[in-house]
Structure 1
Amino acid sequence: MALSGVSAISFDLDDTLWPFRTVVERAEATLHSWLLEQAPKVAALLSTPQALGRLRDDYERSQPGLAGDFRALRIGSIRLALEMSSEDVSLTDEAYRIFVAARHEVQFYDDVMPALQWLSARFPLIAVTNGNADLRMTGGSEFLRLTLSASSLGIAKPAAGIFHAAARAAGVAPAEMLHVGDDYDLDVVGALDAGLQAAWLRRDEHNVAVPSQPIAQGRHLVINDLSMLCLAIGGPDKL
């Protein structure tokens, strides 16, 4: 697919600019160690860092009204762990701060910073995420005009509203905006249905989420890294 009249670009964050699973696993390991030190009785409930993730997932299933509110889900699961272990629940807020700090220690993919630097000199860039990453904490905020999150807007991908908000923030019509993301259903289909152009970022062919609907061939760009995106827009072979 050839891009046409792109005047602004929006980016997903997790698994687009950095690998998400390794970040969360490291953050949960950091939180687990802190909890064992500050609230040692949680060891009976949370024998491993992985148990934190399972407890958080169980809590989400028990609280359907919190779906998509990652902050509330993580805080709620930490509080639950402390309550179930007869530990001091007032530790919840500090425990969450420990987790958030570790969650933002991301490792950008090698192509990201050179691409963002090149693109930001030519286009307004907007982050559009269903997650809770803060580019002011991860780094990279100097290249993006704004971060739009599902929690701040009350609208999550693939709903058109969050993409339209990105286009308004960039000062362009939806058709002039290109959205880049790794999730076919949320990023590609959502953007196309909202009237944007879309680029599907498939970094690892063996680790791509299986789309829930047939792939619309020819309606979106397919790239393996952001250097390919720059090249498609008219950039150099190497950044």
Structure 2
Amino acid sequence: MRITDHAAVVTGGASGLGQATARVLAEAGARVTVLDVNEAGATASAETFGGLGLACDVTDPESVAAALAAAAEAHGPARICVNCAGIVAGGRVVGKEGPHDLATFSRVISINLIGTFNVMSQAAAAMAALEPEDEHERGVIVNTGSIAATDGQIGQAAYAASKGGVASLTLPAAREFAKSGIRVMCIAPGLFQTPMFDSLSADIYDALVKRTLHPHRLGRPEEFGRMVRALVENPMMNGSTVRLDGALRLEPK
């Protein structure tokens, strides 16, 4: 699907992978709306490329509906939807203090998995009502998984479970939406330089970098954005999860 002159929405776009993706799509000619629970961050991010920033809680159906409606009013109906909103919370299934805190586990699942499903389902419903373009395409949805979905380490139970769910959504959603001309893809990034890494000590940071074989560094957010662009533009990319990890495979811990 072409990107130029199409509307796009990107969740989690106030920072990190979402922010970089929004900018890449805007540079490719899309009219981009940044959605984030951090309204000030969404607005600031969008202002850097002339887009629109809106507050959106991906776990709240009414918040998502309102944000998508406002985005459509400003930019037209979105044919591109990228879900990058997510959080990380560590913890063993059974730690020194006992079983994993259920509220924390539920919050990670709610934002990373249910939030992705919430935005995807509402965006797809709107796309299905649009006129098809070349090759019967009406829209493209790209969700963000993680290599933790398959390489989950000790202490990543909540995060790995949430991202495993996102990856597992990909094929059934792509199969269901095929009749409507909507493609669904998932990107599973490895270790990327995002705000999630800002609090790490230098020794932990260096240890993580050593695990990425080539290139021997953390991924750059704009590289994730370029992968999103490639998936949107290639009509054969559908129903799969693509690893973006520099040949990284995580050890048990």
Structure number, greater radius of gyration: 1
Q: The TM-score by the shorter chain falls in which range?
A: 0.3 to 0.5
Which structure shows the bigger proportion of residues in helix conformation? Answer: 1
Larger RCO (CA under 8 A, 6+ residues apart): 1
* TM norm structure 2: 0.41
* TM norm structure 1: 0.43
Which structure shows the bigger proportion of residues in strand conformation? Answer: 2
